[in-house]
C-alpha cells in the first residue's frame, strides 16, 4: 500500500485526504483521529445529518453503490476505509481498482457472511461453535440433531442481536426459518457460556500486527453494555490464546486495517470464536481515553501506510454504552440525561456522537471511566451507571 504521509499536499495544494464509507459514529471517530494527524477527510453516506458527515471536510451525500458518489470519493481521496461491514463489497471492489482500500473488499466479504466467516475460523485453526448452513428446505431437514438446542442466525445483515432466534428442536427451527423469511441462515449449537471477550488487532500491509488489551464485555438484549479492561475474569494464558487466535485470523486473510474478533469463554474454560468485525469496534472505544494509541489512530495508520505502534494501556477502564432510552423519562417524554452529576465524578470521559434524535436501542454515545486501578474504575463506573439509571454490572 502506498504510504500517505500526514501533511502531504495533493494536486489542489491541500493536505492528503482519507476517505471513509459510512457516516455513523465509527466514521466520526475515525475522521476526528485523521484530522488530529493533519489529514483532510471525506465521508460517503446518504444521510445529510450523518455524524461523520457533519465533521468531515467533505460529505458526499450518495448511496453506497451510486457511481457518481464513488467517483467523487475516488477523486478526493488518496486512500479509503469503511466504518461498517455492511457496505456493499461491490462498492469496495470498484474503489479498490483505483485507490488503496483497507480493509479489502475480499476481507469485508468474508465478514459479511456468517457461514463464510465460520469456515474461515475452521480453515485458520480457530475453534468455533458447531454449525450448519441453512439455505434450503433440504438443508433444514438435514440439520444434525447435535445442533439442538441451537440459535438460528441470518447469514447476512445481523448485528446487535438482530436476525437471531433460539430454537429448541427441529420443529422450532422450521418455524424460526419461516419467521426469518427463509433467507440463508446458519444454525449454531447453543454453548454453555461463562464470559464474552473481544480482541482488537491492527495489521499493516507489511504484515506487522499489534493489538489492544483483551476486553471483557457484557451484552444486554444483544447490544454491548459494558466493557472492562483489563479483563477481570480472564487469566494470562487465555488472554494470550485469544490474542494469538485474532492475529492468526487477520494474517490468514492478509487483512489490512483494524479487526475485532469476539470470543466466547465456555464454562469449561475453553475459547471459541463468535464473529469478526472488519473495523473498529464498540468494545474498543475505551482506547480513546485509556491507551496511548486508540483503535481509530491505528485505523488511520493502517490506511495511510504508517508504522504501527503497539498500544499501551496507561489506565484501567470501564466503558458504558449510552443508548437512546437514556434520553426518555419514565413517562416516555424526551429528556436529556443529567450529565452534570456524572461529569462531577473523577476519571469520567463523555463521548456523544452528534446524532440528531434519540431512539430506544440507538447508540448515542459512550462513557469511559479511567482510574489508577481496576477497582477504582469499576467503583466510579457503578456510580455513573446508578446516576444514569443503568443496571449494575
For residue 338, pLDDT beyond 70: yes
Residues 183 and 244 grouped into a single domain = no
What pLDDT is recorded for position 2?
A: 72
Residues 139 and 204 grouped into a single domain = no
Q: What CATH number is associated with residue 45?
A: 3.40.50.20
Picking from 46, 80, 101, the residue at the C-terminal end of a domain is 101
In this prediction, what percent of the chain has a pLDDT beyond 70? 97
For residue 11, pLDDT beyond 60: no
For residue 139, pLDDT beyond 80: yes
- pLDDT confidence band for 371 (50 / 70 / 90): very high
Residue 4 lies in a domain: no
Residue 117 lies in a domain: no
Residue 21 lies in a domain: yes
For residue 19, pLDDT beyond 80: yes
Residue 119 lies in a domain: no
For residue 1, pLDDT beyond 70: no
**CA–CA gap between residue 259 and residue 298 (Å, rounded):** 10
Residue 341 lies in a domain: yes
Residues 236 and 250 grouped into a single domain = yes
What pLDDT is recorded for position 186?
A: 96
Q: What CATH number is associated with residue 369?
A: 3.30.470.20
- pLDDT confidence band for 356 (50 / 70 / 90): confident
- pLDDT confidence band for 160 (50 / 70 / 90): low
Residues 300 and 318 grouped into a single domain = yes
Contact (CB, 8 A) for 29 and 7: no
Residue 362 lies in a domain: yes
Total tally of structural domains belonging to the chain: 3
In this prediction, what percent of the chain has a pLDDT beyond 90? 89
What the block records as the C-alpha cell of 263 is 470470543
What pLDDT is recorded for position 311?
A: 98
Residues 177 and 203 grouped into a single domain = no
Q: What Å distances lie between residue 295 and 91, 128, 286, CA to CA?
A: 24, 25, 9
Residues 210 and 185 grouped into a single domain = no
Residue 183 lies in a domain: yes
What pLDDT is recorded for position 157?
A: 75
Q: What CATH number is associated with residue 163?
A: 3.30.1490.20
Which residues is 189 bridged to in the sheet? 150
Mean pLDDT of the 126-136 span: 95
For residue 336, pLDDT beyond 90: no
Residues 228 and 363 grouped into a single domain = yes
**CA–CA gap between residue 199 and residue 259 (Å, rounded):** 8
Residues 245 and 146 grouped into a single domain = no
Over residues 270-322, the pLDDT tens digits come to: 999 999 999 999 999 999 999 999 999 999 999 999 999 999 999 999 999 99
Residues 96 and 164 grouped into a single domain = no
Average pLDDT along the chain? 94
Residues 323 and 203 grouped into a single domain = yes
What the block records as the C-alpha cell of 299 is 485505523
Residue 111 lies in a domain: no
Domain containing 64: what range? 17-101
**CA–CA gap between residue 319 and residue 374 (Å, rounded):** 12
For residue 252, pLDDT beyond 80: yes
- pLDDT confidence band for 339 (50 / 70 / 90): very high
Over residues 176-228, the pLDDT tens digits come to: 999 999 999 999 999 999 999 999 999 999 999 999 999 999 999 889 999 99
What pLDDT is recorded for position 330?
A: 83
Amino acid at each position: 500500500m502506498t504510504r500517505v504521509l500526514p501533511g502531504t499536499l495533493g494536486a489542489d495544494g491541500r493536505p492528503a485526504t482519507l476517505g471513509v464509507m459510512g457516516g455513523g459514529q465509527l466514521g466520526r471517530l475515525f475522521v476526528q483521529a485523521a484530522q488530529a494527524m493533519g489529514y483532510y477527510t471525506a465521508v460517503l453516506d446518504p444521510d445529510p445529518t450523518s455524524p461523520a458527515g457533519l465533521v468531515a471536510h467533505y460529505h458526499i451525500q450518495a448511496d453506497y453503490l451510486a457511481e457518481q458518489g464513488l467517483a467523487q470519493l475516488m477523486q478526493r481521496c488518496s486512500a479509503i476505509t469503511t466504518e461498517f461491514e455492511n457496505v456493499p463489497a461491490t462498492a469496495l471492489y470498484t474503489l479498490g481498482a483505483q485507490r488503496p482500500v483497507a480493509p479489502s473488499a475480499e476481507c469485508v466479504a468474508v465478514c459479511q457472511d456468517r457461514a463464510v466467516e465460520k469456515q474461515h475460523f475452521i480453515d485458520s485453526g480457530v475453534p468455533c461453535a458447531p454449525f450448519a448452513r441453512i439455505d434450503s428446505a433440504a438443508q433444514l431437514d438435514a440439520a444434525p440433531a447435535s445442533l439442538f438446542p441451537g440459535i438460528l442466525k441470518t447469514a447476512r445483515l445481523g448485528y446487535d442481536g438482530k436476525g437471531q432466534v433460539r430454537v429448541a428442536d427441529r420443529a422450532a427451527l422450521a418455524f424460526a426459518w419461516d419467521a426469518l423469511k427463509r433467507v440463508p441462515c446458519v444454525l449454531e449449537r447453543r454453548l454453555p457460556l461463562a464470559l464474552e471477550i473481544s480482541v482488537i488487532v491492527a495489521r499493516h500491509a507489511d504484515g506487522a500486527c499489534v493489538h489492544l488489551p483483551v476486553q471483557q464485555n457484557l451484552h444486554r438484549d444483544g447490544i454491548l453494555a459494558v466493557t472492562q479492561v483489563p479483563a477481570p475474569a480472564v487469566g494470562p494464558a487465555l488472554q494470550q490464546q485469544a490474542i494469538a487466535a485474532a492475529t492468526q485470523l487477520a494474517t490468514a486473510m492478509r487483512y489490512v486495517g483494524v479487526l475485532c474478533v469476539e470470543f466466547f469463554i465456555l464454562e469449561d474454560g475453553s475459547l471459541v470464536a463468535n464473529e469478526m468485525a472488519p473495523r473498529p469496534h464498540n468494545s474498543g472505544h475505551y482506547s480513546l481515553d485509556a491507551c496511548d494509541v486508540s483503535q481509530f489512530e491505528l485505523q488511520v495508520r493502517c490506511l495511510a501506510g504508517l508504522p504501527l505502534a503497539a498500544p499501551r494501556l496507561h489506565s484501567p477502564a470501564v466503558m458504558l454504552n449510552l443508548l437512546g432510552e437514556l434520553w426518555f423519562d419514565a413517562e416516555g417524554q424526551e429528556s436529556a440525561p443529567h450529565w452534570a452529576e456524572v461529569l462531577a465524578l473523577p476519571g469520567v470521559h463523555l463521548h456523544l456522537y452528534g446524532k440528531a434524535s434519540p431512539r430506544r436501542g440507538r447508540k448515542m454515545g459512550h462513557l469511559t471511566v479511567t482510574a489508577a486501578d481496576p477497582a477504582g474504575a469499576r467503583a466510579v463506573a457503578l456510580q455513573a451507571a446508578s446516576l444514569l439509571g443503568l443496571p449494575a454490572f
